[in-house]
A and B are shown apart, each in its own frame.
Chain A
């Protein structure tokens, strides 16, 4: 079995071989072609959006996705929910000595498919190898640059009472899928990660963009974390109906079995948006025309409950939706 050796990160012949055979063969058509020290990029015009994220998910491959596409969509989605169109990506890899080359190839193939799907170009990168035991398989970092689409000016300072909370699909699928894939809950037909791009959803908002007050992808900490971040320090709160929350039976099963709140489980291909009430139906309708938005729905609204996220429970009571705390889900993305 071919494996990664320390020399693959040493900067010498093996490094060059690895980059030529595995990186340039997949990503060498653009600015990466002659391996310059940095990417020289044209001015795209408009307001730039720049973001970065690291990926340490365990296991590397899980139902519905893998670390490679997660690293592309994760960064592209962060740009998208800032109202941006993703353009360029950096890719840095930290590999563990002994990693099967076949695993690396599988991850790189997945990255290639995801960049094509997002129409984003890898323009610079880096590869390091650490001795066995000093990282777990492979870690990725991506940084991305995008340009803001016209009309988007989201910000929590624009929120008003009566604004509507929308989600673009079911919640918590990624977290539940990764937890199930770790084998702590043996499941036959377990949940599948929702890992995927959200930029088409953002694009479909089109002329309603000025009505978007806030957008985020509910990754680590899930919906609960995003909603609490929105209202923190504001004289406004959020009220949701438990009956309206879109959850698959698989996610509910994993959450029930493990005693987790599905609102704390991350998604990797969803949007939470706060919008003006008059635009909610139109945005939902355009989302639902896309496969990744078919389960889009409204889940609640902005209220005067200062700083609090409140859930009206199925049983008819109400409770606080708190931030997740503690080491709930290490290495989930």
Chain B
């Protein structure tokens, strides 16, 4: 079997790449003031950058900014409030584990579970089918959040459930599409993003061409890279090379997984079952056509319609700056709550909860570089 991991963590190659990135960074600094701001869109990139300490290898001219690519982080408070309300009404909630500790307006799914609500953590959406079969008398609602990567596996529950005649399974949908968010971030003059390190697995579904609209004469480089440390370093290297040549192209460096046109089967499935809608993103507001909702033919799987519980409008915590972190306007340690009132054991905002959240990544792996006041949560006696 091929080893797809170790070659992409090779320290000698990392060293060579870091040297080249340093050279390119210095050459670019002669041409233009200020650092090159590269947004890594995807939460798995954010985690990998922190886990391998990649910032240590970059010159000061390269500034990595974390983007909105953590599905838990961009899910708005109202969605959680709706899920919590359903759980309290006796519905079985099936969910990925990350959602348990995300604060709603006044509590979390984890806390309502300890009060007796039934919440099943799933590693795979197909486990929701099993819960529905085992509990014929109770409604099972799967928390259907995620980007293009996750959407396919989640909605692929629907056909088997219909064929089987399962009447007690539905979805609470808050799916999101990455390209509309990138368009908004690209247009924000305050952010001044110089290039996107495009997500790996989202691109496997939507294809490399999905970023074409961001490139061209007035565009910026969009480079698709995998999640291993060398993938990311090579991605940064190619972004800087494009910058040196004054180019703005889509480059697919993750071609062991990503095709130019993406996964056509998944795209067809999504198109058959879902339709574009405007949807709220935490931190970004309501973006037109940035969400996907169930088409009318599948209304019997739409939990709010089926159960008569409309989506709520939530109240995000006031001092939390997750919105600015998601937009890349704030590095996690710059939030006044970071590491103090907000830490993984007592998260205030979703960026501290999710395994892919920028604040969780910074807290977990990268507190080394921070000021002592933000480093230690439990000061030893």
A residues neighboring B (CB under 8 Å): 184-185, 232-233, 243, 252, 256, 258-259, 307-308, 310, 313-320, 322, 325-327
Interface centre among B56, B124, B230, B367 (most CB of A within 10 A): B56
Q: Which single member of B57, B101, B368 contacts A315 (CB below 8 Å)?
A: B57
Interface string of B1-40 (1 = CB under 8 A from A): 0000100011100110010000000000000000000000
Contact status of A314 and B368, CB under 8 A, knowing A184-B123, A307-B376: no
Decide: A316 near B18, CB < 8 A? Known: A252-B5, A258-B123: yes
Contact (Cβ within 8 A) A256 B368: no
How many whole Å from A138's CB to the nearest CB in chain B? 23
Chain A residues near B55: list those with CB within 8 A: 317
Residues of B within 8 A of A258 (CB): 123
Given A318-B368, A322-B365, A325-B344, check contact A256 B5 (CB 8 Å).
yes
State whether B344 touches A315 (Cβ < 8 A).
Answer: no
Complex Cα–Cα for A233 and B380 (A): 5
Residues of B within 8 A of A252 (CB): 5
Decide yes or no whether B332 CB sits under 8 A from chain A: no
Tell me whether B51 is interfacial, beta carbon within 8 Å.
yes
A–B pairs, 9, beta carbons within 8 Å:
A232-B380, A315-B14, A315-B53, A316-B53, A317-B56, A319-B52, A322-B365, A325-B345, A326-B101
B270 CB, nearest partner CB in chain A, Å: 24
Q: For residue B363, which residues in chain A have a CB less than 8 angstroms away from its CB?
A: 322
C-alpha gap A57/B12 in the complex (Å): 42
Q: A314-B229, A319-B51, A320-B365 are in contact. List 9 more A-B contacts (CB 8 A).
A: A185-B123, A256-B5, A258-B123, A313-B52, A315-B14, A316-B53, A317-B55, A320-B364, A322-B363
- Residue among B355, B365, B376 making CB contact with A319, cutoff 8 Å: B365
- Interface of chain B, main secondary structure: helix
- With A307-B380, A313-B51, A313-B52: A319-B5 Cβ-Cβ less than 8 Å: no
Interface centre among B5, B10, B364 (most CB of A within 10 A): B364
Q: For A256, list chain B residues within 8 Å (CB).
A: 5
CA distance A314 to B233 in the complex (A): 13
| B109 within 8 Å of A (CB atoms) | no
B240 to chain A, nearest CB (A): 18
Q: Are A320 and B367 in contact (CB under 8 A)?
A: yes
Contact of B52 among A233, A259, A314 (CB under 8 A): A314
Q: How far is the CA of A221 from the CA of B376 in the complex (A)?
A: 19
What bracket does the count of chain B residues touching chain A fall in? 35 or more
Selected contact of B11 from candidates A259, A314, A322, CB within 8 Å: A314
> With the chains together, A229 CA to B365 CA distance in Å?
17
Does B366 sit at the interface, judged by CB under 8 A?
A: yes
Give the residue name and chain of the A residue nearest to B55 (CB): A317
**Is A314 a contact of B57 with CB atoms below 8 Å?**
no
A258, B55: Cα distance in complex, Å:
25
Complex Cα distance, B47 from A256, in Å, reads: 13
Q: CA A315 – CA B5 in complex, angstroms? A: 12
Q: Which 10 residue pairs of A and B lie closest in terms of their CB atoms, listed nearest first?
A: A317-B53, A233-B380, A315-B229, A317-B56, A315-B52, A319-B365, A315-B14, A314-B9, A319-B53, A313-B52
Please, how many angstroms separate the alpha-carbon atoms of A326 and B97 in the complex?
Answer: 10
Residues of B within 8 A of A318 (CB): 53, 56, 368
One of A184, A307, A315 near B230 (C-beta < 8 A): A315
Pick from B97, B229, B355, B368: contact of A310, CB under 8 Å: B368
The residue on A at minimum CB distance from B15 is A316
In the complex formed, the residue of A with least CB distance to B380 is A233
> Which residues of chain A have C-beta atoms less than 8 A from B344's C-beta?
325-326
B21 to chain A, nearest CB (A): 12
B50 at the interface (CB under 8 A from A): yes
Q: Which residues of A contact B188 (CB under 8 A)?
A: none
Expressed in whole angstroms, the minimum distance between the Cβ of A23 and any Cβ of chain B is 36
What separation, in Å, do the CA atoms of A243 and B14 have in the docked complex?
14
Cβ-based interface call for B381 (8 A): yes
Is B54 engaged at the interface, CB distance under 8 Å to the other chain?
A: yes
The answer to whether B123 touches A313 (Cβ under 8 A) is no
Residues on the B chain within 8 Å of A259, using CB: 355
Q: Point out the residues of chain A lying under 8 angstroms from B52, CB to CB.
A: 313-315, 317, 319
Interface centre among B5, B363, B368 (most CB of A within 10 A): B368
Once bound together, how far apart are the Cα atoms of A295 and B14, in whole Å?
Answer: 28
Write the nearest CB–CB distance from B37 to chain A, whole angstroms: 20
Which chain B residue has the least Cβ–Cβ distance from A311?
B53
With the chains together, A317 CA to B55 CA distance in Å? 7
A315 touches B9 (CB 8 A): yes
Residues on the A chain within 8 Å of B364, using CB: 320, 322
Residues of chain B within 8 A (CB-CB) of A326 are 101, 344
The closest CB in chain A to the CB of B356 belongs to A259
> In whole angstroms, what is the CA distance A153 to B56 when docked?
40
Q: Does the CB pair A316–B368 fall under 8 Å?
A: no
CB-contacts of B46-89 with A (<8 A): 50-57
Task: Tell me, rounded to whole Å, the shortest Cβ–Cβ distance linking A59 to chain B.
Answer: 16
What are the interface flags for B120-152 relative to A under an 8 Å C-beta threshold, 1 for contact and 0 otherwise? 000110000000000000000000000000000
Bound-state CA distance A299–B355 (Å) is 26
In the complex, which residues of chain A have a beta carbon less than 8 angstroms from the beta carbon of B100? 327
Query: B380 contacts which chain A residues (CB < 8 A)?
Result: 232-233, 307
Contacting residues of chain B (346-381) with chain A, CB-CB under 8 angstroms: 355, 363-368, 376, 380-381
Instruction: Report B227-251 CB contacts with A as 1/0, cut-off 8 Å.
Output: 0011001000000000000000000
List, in ascending order, chain B residues with CB within 8 A of A233's CB.
380-381
* Central interface residue in A233, A256, A314, by most chain B CB within 10 Å: A314
Return the chain A residue nearest B101 by Cβ.
A326
Which residues of chain B come closer than 8 Å to A327, judged between CB atoms?
Answer: 97, 100
B304-350 residues at the A interface, CB under 8 angstroms = 344-345
- B204 to nearest A CB, angstroms? 17
Q: How far is the CA of A127 from the CA of B56 in the complex (A)?
A: 57
The answer to whether B366 and A315 have CB atoms under 8 Å apart is no
- A185 to B124 CA separation, bound complex (whole angstroms): 10
Among A184, A243, A308, A325, the residue within 8 A (CB) of B368 is A308
Complex Cα gap A96–B258 (Å): 51
Q: Which residues of B contact A319 (CB under 8 A)?
A: 50-53, 365-366, 368
What's the Cα separation between A252 and B233 when bound, in Å?
A: 22
Q: Which residue of chain A has its CB nearest to the CB of B381?
A: A233
Docked pose: A322 CA to B364 CA in angstroms: 6
For A308, what are the chain B residues with a Cβ–Cβ distance below 8 Å? Answer: 368
